[in-house]
Structure 1
Amino acid sequence: MRQDKRTETITYIVDESYRIQYMSKALAKQFSDFEPGEICYEKFRGREKPCRNCPLAHPNRKTDLFYNEDQGKWLKINAGEVEWPGARNCHVILAKDIYEEDMDNLCRFVNMKKEILERRNPGKTEKNKLTGLFARNPFFTQTETFLRVNETAAGKYCLVAIDIEHFKLFNEWYGQVAGDKLLREIGAHLNKMRQEFGGIAGYMGGDDFVIVLPNDEKVLENLKCRITGFVRAYGGHTGFLPAFGFYVIDDISLSASQMYDRAILAQETVKGNYAVRCAYYSSDMKTRLENNHVLLAEVQAGLERDEFIYYLQPKCNLNTGKIVGLESLVRWKHPEKGIVAPGYFIPVMESNGLITELDMKVWEQVCQTLQDWIKSGHKVIPISVNVSSVDIYAIDVVEHFKNLVRKYGLPPEYVELEITESAYVEEYKVITSVAEALRNAGFTVLMDDFGSGYSSLNMLKDVNVDVLKIDMKFLKMDENTMDKGMGILEAVTRMANIMGLRMIAEGVETEDQINYLLNMGCIYGQGYFFYKPLPVEEIKVLLNDENNVDYRGIQARKIEHVRFKDLFQSELASDSILNNILGPIAIYDVYCDNVELLQVNDKYCLLVGQDPVDLAENVQVMEAIHPDDRKKMQNIFQRSFQRLAEGAEGTVRRRREDGQYIWINIKAFFLREQDGHKMFYGAVRDVSEEMNQFQKLMIYQNKGN
């Protein structure tokens, strides 16, 4: 019987510089002294230059045979492009032994030899099988040939780079088969446009496409609408929309690869922006790229000189203003520019793989501060630190934090970890498993920025976190969309309360927002209304006064609130009971200078002395308001719209059915807006007696004077 010589497939990931980013366990056993960043051909074979058949040198070869002279055996090599945090143009390499006495492998051996021979005929390999479009290098070759033939092509054609954002998540949700179908259909759309308008289309691998089309506004708009419409219909989720980068080919002396790079630069400016999905390349983009290289050098020097520090921003109880926790926020103490905010340097650190080194420095500083506070006899409240998906891939985050709290002698509940919701969406399985391991180790895990990107209410039931940080950007919308943002916030809060999730709102800036959050059931917040991020020493002074601190921290709701929607829909209260509880109420439709009644209850009918039939024929409210009070009536609704949480109230005169005027007080709350019509809830009461008494008092006082 033939000896079984099957071996485990070895896997590793290398970047464009042949540096190893990852090594599978099977391979790590052979190279126990491996350090990320080592060069593959030096590490594996002790050579000074890349292997002859290296996939990086031949990017079109996805499967190949490789003879290892050192070990005297054949390997079957599979290679594919892969994204890897902190590295560019990475490939995953899978290698497996081939034994010629294994007949099955021998057959594959012969077939692969045929494939190698066939690759020498470019006519058979320049098209990608899945999409039917030119592969990367053939696309570049075809484009350059096309432009050389068309000597007057400058300015007449546009190269468009297309990327489907979060395509990995699409595959995760819908499966590889559905993902391949999506790519195949996009390829078909691009091929059709190429035939219709004249051009060249290519597939760059992964979820990246490219096409050269006439530089005509209608043609390019047609492209954008066609691809966006198809992807939206196919995916059914805004997170999967395509991003477009346009480069008008005005310099045909550039290589096609350089043209594509410029289109990619434009594309990068719109990723993550769901309002703007396309951008044209401009020379300042290249300037920004060059400036980023200068900034990168400064950042690296700053890391070496320990110039990065952190500030702390308090998290507060909305009712009392007392501090319940702190969040660490990195700052750059620049030797010339002073304190620099993170928006200036974080993007370049993220794109160049330095963010984990920065995060680790901040985590260490936070633990050092907590230890110092404890040693000096101060009561301690938790400090949260930010953890990115890049950190989770770059290091063993769980072990790192275990070692940190062990090193500084800290209870793990004093160090809280904030992971952005986008990380959960993009890498759901990996991030959730890490979050669960952190919680099991005693750490508190917060989901940061919930609602800022692609999150869904459905996701909350599957994600095990301790605290949900909801994003107040929902209330920074325009007049036409604010009511939708309020509805989403209420739905998130209701779901979180049902699940027993603790909540805190971030970005709280106004008293109106506080009142709205409290009415909604959220009692913790963080933002400039209370405190801006402050240096550690200033925070220490605040905490020295224990009257400023609520040491219970962020708590879950302990008593159930009355939910009026549930009350209305239950059998607990009849219509008559609700009428007595609420008093006279009406739903108003306000548009232009008109105010109409949409709905009223029985108490309202009694107040104005009309039955529902009569009211239905006299819905124009302004006609019944005293002429001198009509502007005042309009002002009540205007103020109510501006003060969403509190509403607004005022007193006006209203004519009853018998022709007599009564004084009514209206407390109005904005409900929603549709097609220019604003809907308001109005609680109405008769205050005629109070007004009459007030007028008598004024007359009496005037006589006395």
Structure 2
Amino acid sequence: MFGNSKKSNIIKKILNKGETDLQMETVREKNILYYCSKFAKYQPNTTIIFATDKSIFSINNEAIKNILGFEPNHLRELKTILPPDTYTSLALTMEQALEGKIEKHLINFTFQEEKYDLLLTFIPIEQENNEVEGVYLIIENVSEKLSTIGSLRDLFDGLNTGVWMKNSINGDFSFISKNIASIFEVSLEKVNKRTFTTFIHPEDREVTQIIESQLSQRNKAQAVYRIVSGNGKVKWLSEQISIKYNNNGEVEQLLGIIHDITREKQLEEKLIFIEKYDELTGLPNQKSLYELLDYYCENRRPFALLYLDIDRFNMINDSLGYEIGDEVLKIVANRLKDILPSNGHISRISSNDFVVTQSAFHHKDQVIQLAEKIIHEVERPIIVEDYEIYVSMSIGISFFPEEGEEKLSLIENAHTALYLAKREGKGNYQLFTYSKDISSYKKYVLDRDMRKAILNEEFELYFQPKVEPIRGQIYGAEVLIRWNHNEWGAISPSEFIPIAEENQTINLITDWVIKRVLSLLKEWKEQGFLLRTLSVNVPPIRFMRNGLVELVKEQLQINDIPAKFLELEVTESTLLRSDKIVLSKIEELKNLGIKIAIDDFGTGYASFDLLRKFHPDTLKIDQLFVQNIHHENEMDRGIISSILYLAKTLEMKVVAEGVEELHQIEFLKQQECDFIQGYLFSPPVSQSEYEHLMKIGYLKPKNKLNFKQGGIEKRKFFRFQFPNFVLAKMTISEVNNQKVDVGATPILLDNIGLEGIKYLSNLKLPINSNMKFKFEFTLMGQPFEIEGFLKWIEEEFGGIYSYGVQFQSNKPIEDKLAPIINRMSALNKKNERIPDTEFINKEAHLYLRESN
């Protein structure tokens, strides 16, 4: 079986000779025997055999006994124990070992129904002429170890990480988990045939040296590196390696654990990118800008700073939506990058604000040329989703070191110049200078301090009462805001609200007002005040931003205030910013019980269909119409009358804003306007003043109008004041130019002229030019039937109303009435009785109540 060679004879002796007491002939063999004995002492499950042509020794036969259950007298007895195929395999392995072709071999067999796994390790014995004269054979029972490894294999294969094991640093893998193949995206067979080094990214090849260095210094190593997987993907791996040594200080096992950290690395890279770059446009962000400016300032490198702002950009977001707005920003950013000179740098620092720096310019004209180029480039039409959009850009410019020696002052000064550019009409550039415009500087300071003002509660609420015009009862108030700036003093809304809308802080301010108003209502409720509705203006942009409905709902619950005491005012233009979005939020608010008012009604272009869709609770007539109320301006009077008629038809309340003169309120009362708001009753007042007004509960106009005297002075014709009320009848003759048949009701005439009458009635009638009335009365025996229109109304006392009537022009009746008025006037001056006239001597309210 073994052939005829000298090596074959040695193998026969190893397998067949049974002598165990042969003499050790060389010192070398004695030394080997010593170390083998030492090894066997610490490895009770290991048998060591060595043999030459002259000697065969077995060390630690107890181990064989533990394995086989008995101690064989001769090794050839193994032939009777081992299965034939196992014995044949062992013989072939021995032959290969003597030829230096194999070092280790694992045999498996069953003896007496027990499974055994024996690891054979061969060490050739060479003479001085390099010829093999024998072999040392180490037999180790590894059944338990293999059983443990099998369990570990199942465990490791179930992990998301990859695990490998080796028995020596440069040896083959003794175990590779399935996830190694998944990580490297190749089959396990290919992993076995290739080392990990071949997968490592070319730029990270030095990682192998790092690992070797770490292993040489300690018993573990850790490294992060990239690989190119079998599918060509670049992956990031984290590998940890630990070494186990035996008692002799030799490497017994290496364990490696590999994690695929590609996603973590991508997230880390994204976070690093976000830290210094704007995610939407890819431009450097404010942090990158600050680092660059610090570098320029520290190195005293002259440069220009251009602060860029897209004019009215919020209009794009409000009308077309934020997705369109984002696309516009990206297009503008790309245009700016394309025209940026080699010595330029651009950053996006907020929504529609960019900063460009230019260094190493020879003359400031180069900076101005760049600004002009930017303005021209941005003004080119932008196409987004079939929308053709036109935008303009304003620019403020400051220079280092002339206008600031550190970054913040340079930015502030450029920002101040930007406001000057916007005030000059937008779409232009301005250079910074302190002496040019104090107003622009003030705007800049307000813009800078606005967010701080919210945190420091520098804003204060004022309240302008809404008054029922006839009784003067206070029915609530519109909440207005004032800013007590620590440098500029009291700032009016007309100054800071446009800035707040430009820099988007209007949303924060609106939310603050809503929170404060509901908190005040809670305080007043606890103090025993009779609560009245408070109205808060909500700008269009707040409806476009999420969270308004949630904020209102939350604050109502926190303060335990019924929703009916909060009214939100929206402008007509708000309804058309984004119809669906606004209407859906208004509907949600109304479902909470919040009242909705349309502010500045009549100045926008809201359709009647929109009014029908969300049905506001209140319409507020803009003061533009109220201020133009006078006898000669029939158009504005007609508009107001129409709005009032429309509102009453739709069951809405009407508030007239900006009422400042007596003739305005008288007209509005005649037209049955529900509420008046204006300086005639009260200017906006502080919280303490409004609380005082709430205790009183009503207001009177600053100067009460005397109808009898005032009316006489302003009328074209003389009015005769009856000494007592004259009984008359009134009926409706037409409605919308259609004849109607309505019974007459008694009225009391107070005075009369050729153009009209004043009378008293206990009926509240609409002041509407579409309704015509007929009046019947007798004066000095002469009957009259005159048609006319109600022009004003005033509540006198006890449910009695006085009305002003304008007669329909009728020359024959005027000719008949004029001499009667003259004769009555003459008789009255002489204190003589006026004959053939039915005077009523009772109090008007008593007579009218009895007559019904």
Q: Tell me the TM-score range normalised by the shorter chain.
A: 0.3 to 0.5
TM-score when scaled to structure 2? 0.39
Structure whose alpha-carbon radius of gyration is higher: 2
The higher-RCO structure (CA 8 Å, 6+ apart) is: 1
